[in-house]
Amino acid sequence: MSDSNSLFTPQELREWQLALAEADRYNIFCHCRKCDREWVASTQVPCTCGSTNIEYIACWQFPDD
């Protein structure tokens, strides 16, 4: 989609992108593939079991209900 077909003005698009980046920065759902532990963190950290085989999902991707 070209900029001329965008639903947002350039400023609105920048604000939307910043809001998503902020949500990503502080709300990361983490799932350890080794021990199945789940937690929310602000950074991509290893599991307390020592595994670095972690699935990271930005929390904004989950519905609010």
Question: For residue range 4-27, what is the model confidence (pLDDT) as tens digits?
Answer: 677 889 999 999 888 877 766 778
Beta bridge partners of 57: 29
What residue spans of the chain are helical by DSSP H? 10-26
Q: How far does the chain reach from its first CA to its final CA, in angstroms?
A: 31
Helix-strand-coil percent breakdown of the chain, rounded to 5?
A: 35, 20, 45
Domain with 31, as residue range(s), is 26-65
Q: Indicate if the pLDDT at residue 3 is higher than 50.
A: yes
- The count of domains in the chain is 1
Is residue 5 included in any domain, yes or no? no
R_g of the chain, CA atoms, integer Å: 16
Is residue 20 included in any domain, yes or no? no
pTM of the model: 0.59
Is residue 8 included in any domain, yes or no? no
